[in-house]
């Protein structure tokens, strides 16, 4: 399939382009900062890995591969989104490659698997993709540049309540970020007087959405609230249409992952009108993002940059700026304090690192799928300040 070709092409570009593995002398080693990226470059979550890698590459291309007098070396390893692989690869990179940072993590279980190692090795773990709230609690060395389902789901619930949506069926992927999405949406929506007659959880691997969507349809809600991991969501949208939920007047609302920018084109025009909450859109109207989006489309083998890409890009910014602050000194005990409270402009808008939680503080945007210049985009129409 098209995505597989894309991934292997890009994966190998990243590996050969940035990962230089030769023997360095001790002195040379000291002048190098090594970043070990653990990413799903193959398998069902490969889109997340490709996007994060693209964001990392873009940052290095734009800002150079030297910071605070040190050469930056990125070593990328493919975990296929399997947590045991992530742990093993991270361990190898800490022990053999002596990496100074562990970064990436396309899905939550892979971030969870590596955090004990970050604590043990006392090196920063920069979570660029995974979005379960509790990840930052797993180690004091975790700092996140993606976002959380909690941030998006609360805003989505508030918007739904204000916009005449009274009855919703929740359909989430049955693993940690899905449970977060369900829990946070429910808390706000029900407290505000909304009804949720059905809570549906779908398997993460190879979900067949048809029976779940039939159940949702039978409950006659105003909308389905959806969280499915970013990546190939076309099958959800197609089955939603096949089951006639659109014709029954049941809207799609949710975390923006269901209308992921990169693969939105494959959902087709019938997805126009879907309203979601998220922290980044390829169509975000800022000078910085126009440049970022254009460069990403040109420089990498992707359609549109998505939330994952910007997590990778901003994660590199965090690393570069922290190294500048420490004059190139590494180690989590100096770098993590340097990262706390850092604020900057991202292609997604203004962001900062919460000094207490080490999580990212950011705007959440309400967006609607629209066609602009012949292409589908998530067009932002309201901003909730983080
Ligand atoms: C996670 C994975 C995704 O693909 C996504 O869009 C959001 C969260 C996760 O596993 O945390």
CA distance 248 to 222: 9
Give, for 113, the enclosing helix (H) or strand (E).
helix 108-121
Ligand 1 centre distance from Cα of residue 162 (Å): 27
Over residues 153-173, the pLDDT tens digits come to 999 999 999 999 999 999 999
Let me know if 130 is exposed, middle or buried by CB neighbors in 10 A (0-12, 13-18, 19+). Answer: buried
Over residues 232-247, the pLDDT tens digits come to 788 899 999 999 999 9
For residue 371, the tally of other CB atoms under 10 A from its CB is 11
- pLDDT at residue 171 in the model: 97
Which DSSP category does 137 fall into? G
- DSSP assignment of 160-209 equals HHHTT--BEEEEEESSHHHHHHHHHHHHHHHHTT-B---EEEE-SSS---
Alpha carbon 152 to chain centroid, angstroms: 12
Please say whether the beta carbons of 279 and 66 come within 8 A. Answer: no
- pLDDT at residue 28 in the model: 60
Q: How far is CA 1 from CA 58, 187, 249, in A?
A: 25, 39, 33
Residues in the chain, overall count:
386
Q: Would the pLDDT of 342 be above 50? A: yes
Over residues 255-298, the pLDDT tens digits come to 999 999 998 988 889 899 999 999 999 999 999 999 999 999 98
Which DSSP category does 47 fall into? H
User: Which single residue is written with the structure tokens 């919460």?
Assistant: 354
Which residues are registered as beta bridge partners of 171? 200, 226
Give, for 225, the enclosing helix (H) or strand (E).
strand 223-227
For ligand 1, atom 4, name the residue with the nearest CA.
Answer: 229
Ligand 1 centre distance from Cα of residue 173 (Å): 10
- pLDDT at residue 26 in the model: 57
Over residues 132-144, the pLDDT tens digits come to 999 999 999 999 9
Q: Is 66 strand, coil or helix?
A: strand
Average pLDDT over residues 96-114: 98
CA distance 113 to 6: 27
For residue 278, the tally of other CB atoms under 10 A from its CB is 28
How do beta strands 275-278 and 251-255 pair? parallel
* Lowest-confidence region among 2-6, 82-86, 224-228, 264-268: 2-6
Q: Would the pLDDT of 359 be above 60? A: yes
Give, for 32, the enclosing helix (H) or strand (E).
strand 32-39
In the chain, the percentage of residues whose pLDDT exceeds 70 is: 92
CA distance 254 to 150: 12
Q: Is 231 strand, coil or helix?
A: coil
Please say whether the beta carbons of 384 and 365 come within 8 A. Answer: yes
CA distance 201 to 207: 10
Give the pLDDT band of residue 16 (cuts 50, 70, 90): very low
Alpha carbon 265 to chain centroid, angstroms: 19
In the chain, the percentage of residues whose pLDDT exceeds 90 is: 87
Q: Identify the residue with better confidence: 64 or 10.
A: 64
For ligand 1, atom 7, name the residue with the nearest CA.
Answer: 229
- pLDDT at residue 301 in the model: 73
CA distance 74 to 243: 45
CA distance 337 to 358: 10
Give the pLDDT band of residue 6 (cuts 50, 70, 90): very low
- pLDDT at residue 25 in the model: 54
The two structure tokens encoding residue 254: 């949710």
Task: Give ligand 1 pocket residues (Cβ under 6 A).
Answer: 48, 107-108, 130-132, 177, 229-231, 257
Give the pLDDT band of residue 7 (cuts 50, 70, 90): very low
Please say whether the beta carbons of 273 and 251 come within 8 A. Answer: yes
- pLDDT at residue 27 in the model: 57
* Lowest-confidence region among 192-196, 300-304, 322-326: 300-304
**Closest atom of ligand 1 to CA, residue 257:** 6
Ligand 1 centre distance from Cα of residue 351 (Å): 20
The two structure tokens encoding residue 197: 């007659």
For ligand 1, atom 3, name the residue with the nearest CA.
Answer: 229
How do beta strands 364-372 and 142-144 pair? unpaired
Over residues 30-85, the pLDDT tens digits come to 799 999 999 999 999 999 999 999 999 999 999 999 999 999 999 999 999 999 99
Give the pLDDT band of residue 21 (cuts 50, 70, 90): very low
**Closest atom of ligand 1 to CA, residue 131:** 11
Tell me the average pLDDT of the chain: 92
- DSSP assignment of 242-273 equals HTTTTTTT-EEEEEGGGG-GGGGGGG-GGGTT
- pLDDT at residue 122 in the model: 98
CA distance 87 to 118: 10
For residue 378, the tally of other CB atoms under 10 A from its CB is 27
Average pLDDT over residues 303-309: 96
Q: Would the pLDDT of 338 be above 70? A: yes
Ligand 1 centre distance from Cα of residue 177 (Å): 6
Ligand 1 centre distance from Cα of residue 66 (Å): 31
CA distance 218 to 167: 13
Which DSSP category does 41 fall into? -
Q: Would the pLDDT of 2 be above 80? A: no
């Amino acid at each position: 399939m098209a995505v597989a070709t894309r991934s292997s092409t890009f994966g190998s570009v990243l590996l050969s382009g940035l990962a230089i593995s030769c023997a360095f002398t001790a002195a040379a080693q000291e002048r190098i900062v090594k970043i070990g990226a653990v990413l799903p470059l193959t398998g069902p979550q490969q889109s997340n890995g490709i996007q994060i890698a693209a964001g990392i590459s873009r940052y290095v291309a734009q800002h150079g591969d030297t910071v605070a007098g040190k050469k930056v070396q990125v070593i990328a390893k493919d975990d296929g989104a399997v947590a045991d692989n992530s742990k093993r690869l991270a361990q190898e990179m800490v022990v053999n490659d002596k990496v100074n940072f562990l970064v990436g993590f396309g899905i939550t279980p892979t971030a969870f698997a590596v955090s004990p190692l970050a604590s043990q090795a006392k090196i920063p773990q920069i979570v660029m993709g995974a979005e379960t709230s509790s990840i930052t609690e797993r180690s004091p060395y975790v700092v996140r540049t993606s976002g959380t389902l909690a941030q998006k789901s609360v805003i989505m619930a508030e918007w739904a309540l204000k916009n005449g949506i009274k009855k919703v069926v929740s359909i989430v992927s049955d693993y940690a970020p899905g449970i977060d999405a369900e829990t946070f949406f429910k808390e706000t929506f029900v407290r505000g007087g909304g009804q949720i007659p059905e809570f549906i959880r779908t398997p993460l691997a190879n979900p067949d959405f048809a029976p779940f969507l039939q159940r949702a349809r039978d409950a006659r809600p105003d909308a389905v609230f959806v969280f499915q991991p970013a990546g190939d969501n076309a099958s959800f949208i197609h089955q939603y249409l096949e089951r006639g939920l659109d014709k029954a007047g049941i809207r799609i609302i949710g975390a923006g992952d269901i209308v992921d920018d990169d693969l939105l084109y494959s959902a087709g025009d019938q997805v126009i009108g879907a309203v979601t909450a998220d922290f980044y859109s390829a169509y975000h109207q800022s000078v910085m993002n126009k440049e970022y989006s254009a460069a990403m489309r040109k420089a990498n083998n992707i359609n549109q940059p998505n939330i994952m890409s910007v997590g990778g890009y901003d994660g590199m910014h965090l690393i570069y700026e922290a190294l500048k602050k420490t004059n190139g000194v590494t180690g989590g005990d100096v770098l993590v304090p340097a990262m706390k409270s850092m604020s900057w402009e991202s292609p997604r808008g203004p962001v900062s690192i919460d000094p207490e939680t080490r999580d990212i503080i950011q705007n959440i945007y309400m967006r609607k799928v629209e066609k602009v210049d012949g292409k589908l985009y998530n067009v932002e129409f309201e901003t909730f300040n983080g």
